[in-house]
Amino acid sequence: MTELGAYGQRLADVFQLERAPAFVTRSLQKSTIAVTEIKCDLHDHGLTAPIPREDAFLITLQLRDCPRHDLFIDDRQVPTSHLQPGSICIYDLRSSPVANSISAFHSLHFYVPRAALDAIADMEDCGRIDEFNNRPGLGTRDATLAGLGAALLPAFQRPDEATPLFVDHLTIATTAHTLKTYGVRAHLSPSTIVTLASWQEARVKEILASRLNGDIFVSDLARECGLPTGAFLRAFRRSTGVSPHGWLQQHRVEQAKALLSRQMAASLNEVAKSSGFANEAHLIRAFRRVTGLHPTAWTQR
């Protein structure tokens, strides 16, 4: 592993796995954040390979029970404990973490290089940090990150439904929460909560409505409004009550309703494609979340 960037196939090689699916967000101008799903059902899988040192962090969210593992930092064994689902470990890649996988494991790994961490700290106006207050071998239960991970996991199961807008929102939110909650020497300065101007809100909704498939980055929307990405996300939620991805999901459902009302004979798969959903199953899940009904039941109400 000569190339830096502990995510995707490079992280799979660390864990001696054939593959590890990953998503990369490119909304940050000078850096990226990546999230990789790592899963191994074998016990006593053995030592991971060393990760090349770089100024970056791995934020690991446990998705299943991991009763036993060993951890070595810079060749020194550190205390470990039972890692429960929903617990996080933060690894500083300036050191050399190596794990001995005794129990089977399933986790999401958020790769955050220094440039990305600083960019989000500037967006959130919370002060840059040098390290995190976290003992990676012991883990910390974090309900917020568990919720973000649960929202992101279906994207790995159905990658054709994962839009850049959705992945951007969750990876940036994960990094921002981790920085604010565990960052050492982070100084939280109060920031004024603002809303979007009417023209900004209208412009963003116009763009989202023209990109029903969600093929757009949060940074593109922020740029249209002349705002930093973090400020834009806060202002959009303050103005609409939802994230850009949430608004797009609601708009897709409204589009589907209109098509179902006008084209009673149209198949659900046709309606799904015309409304920006990946397929019929994707439409049904989103429709039920918004309306509480199956699309067919909605037309017959």
**What CATH number has the domain bearing residue 122?**
2.60.120.10
**Is residue 43 one of the residues assigned to a domain?**
yes
Asked whether residue 122 is domain-assigned, the answer is: yes
293 and 237 belong to one structural domain = no
Q: In what order do the strands lie in the sheet with 76-78?
A: 46-47, 97-101, 69-73, 76-78
The pLDDT, as a whole number, for residue 148 is 94
- Largest interatomic CA distance in the chain: 67
Same domain (yes/no): 126, 103: yes
Quick check: is 192 in a domain? no
pTM over 0.95: no
Place of tokens 């850096």: 31
Write out the residue range of the structural domain in which residue 114 sits.
Answer: 9-182
27 and 117, same domain (yes or no): yes
CA-CA-CA-CA torsion sign (155, 157, 161, 163) = positive
Both 157 and 71 in one domain: the answer is yes
CA distance 58 to 34: 10
Give pLDDT, residue 149.
Answer: 95
CATH of the domain at 281: 1.10.10.60
CA 98 and chain centroid, separation: 24
Residue 3 lies in a domain: no
Instruction: Count up the domains in the chain and report the number.
Output: 3
Same domain, 155 and 49: yes
- Regarding whether 271 and 142 lie in a shared domain, the answer is no
The pLDDT assigned to 184 comes to 80
Q: Are residues 271 and 131 in the same domain?
A: no
Q: Do 203 and 235 lie in a common domain?
A: yes
pLDDT per residue, tens digit, the chain (301 aa), is 435 689 999 999 999 999 999 999 877 767 889 999 999 999 999 999 999 889 999 999 999 999 999 999 988 899 999 999 999 999 999 888 999 999 999 999 999 999 999 989 888 877 888 889 888 999 999 999 999 999 999 999 999 888 888 999 899 999 999 999 998 864 434 445 578 888 899 999 999 999 998 888 888 898 888 877 777 888 899 999 999 999 999 999 999 999 888 865 578 888 999 999 989 999 999 999 889 999 988 888 7
82, 55: one domain = yes
- 18 lies in the same domain as 146: yes
Residue 260 lies in a domain: yes
**Residue 78 within a domain:** yes
Q: In what order do the strands lie in the sheet with 22-25?
A: 22-25, 33-40, 105-113, 56-62, 87-92, 140-141
Is residue 1 in some structural domain? no
Q: DSSP secondary structure string, 156-224?
A: HHSGGG--HHHHHHHHHHHHHHHHHHHBTT------------HHHHHHHHHHHHH-TT--S-HHHHHHH
Asked if 236 and 252 sit in the same domain, the reply is no
- Note whether residue 72 is domain-resident: yes
Do 68 and 139 reside in the same domain of the chain?
yes
Q: Which two tokens stand for residue 158?
A: 């159905």
Please say whether the beta carbons of 109 and 9 come within 8 A: no
- For every residue of 274-291, DSSP letters joined together read HTT-SSHHHHHHHHHHHH
Cβ atoms of residues 187 and 127 within 8 Å: yes
